[in-house]
Amino acid sequence: MDNRKYSMIREALEKSHYTVAFCGTGMMKESGMPSMRDPEIAYEVEKKYGYSPEEIFTSAFYATRTETFFDYYRNEMLGKPLEPSKAFYALAELERRGKLQYCVTNNVYNLPGRAGCQNVMNLHGIVEENKCPRCGREYSLDYIITSRRTPLCESCMSPVRPQVLLFGEMVDNQRMTRAVQQIEKAEVLLVLGTTLNSGLCEGYLDYFQGSTLILINSTEHFLDEKADIVLHEEVKEALPAIVCPQ
């Protein structure tokens, strides 16, 4: 615990009139999300399904091997319910106080929203949104989870499509534009659980013209020096202590 930096971050947040948080993969891992790129997980997936996660979680696989796609999706991505860590509830508290205006995340489980944040941009979509690609009929997450095989549209019998970004797909332009607009407004940018060159941050940080870039991440990286305040701690421990000190 670095009390000096905690105080610096508190002061920056208190003075800011517009703060945006970028919630990275590290925050999701702290909430219990397994990484599809973890070698051990990838090996187990390939042994179980005959394909790697990078092969299965693609639009081509969804279109050509739909049943296997949904077996993997239900069992490996939806099988273990994730709960937001304390860090997400700390973000919701900041928003409630008027000290956080927007969250941007590339996570598909909508953990900031489930913790209570109202203004969230899920760049990669969320698992709760599912739609028939042919007729546009929408379906709940429960419909996907409880389907015995491929979840089919009850109107036209086409496979329902989860509205999440698959490997190889591009982020929707409208979502990218909205994220850029938010970062351009920010006086303070919180980068949480990721590095400054990650897929979440790449291409966005160039638009930040505010006063203070704050990085909280458990691992060190050579680009950390570009941030104004750097804290190498787990976000789930540091952020709650900063927002709600004992």
- What does the block give as tokens for 226? 């570009």
At residue 122 the predicted structure's pLDDT band, cuts being 50, 70 and 90, is very high
Cα–Cα distance for residue pair 50/65, rounded to 1 Å: 12
Q: How high is the pLDDT of residue 241?
A: 96
Residues 133-146 as b/e (b if ≥16 CB within 10 A, e otherwise) read eeeeeebeeeebee
Cα–Cα distance for residue pair 181/186, rounded to 1 Å: 9
Assess whether pLDDT exceeds 90 at residue 202. no
Q: Which of 17, 124, 221, 232 is catalytic?
A: 124
Assess whether pLDDT exceeds 80 at residue 229. yes
Q: What is the pLDDT of residues 131-141, one digit of tens each?
A: 999 999 999 99
In the residue annotation, 221 being an active-site residue is answered as no
Q: What is the pLDDT of residues 21-74, one digit of tens each?
A: 999 989 999 998 877 777 888 899 999 999 999 999 999 999 999 999 999 999
Residue among 216, 205, 213 nearest 182 (CA): 205
Q: How high is the pLDDT of residue 46?
A: 94
Q: What angle do CA 99, 22, 39 make, to 5 degrees?
A: 145
SS3 166: coil
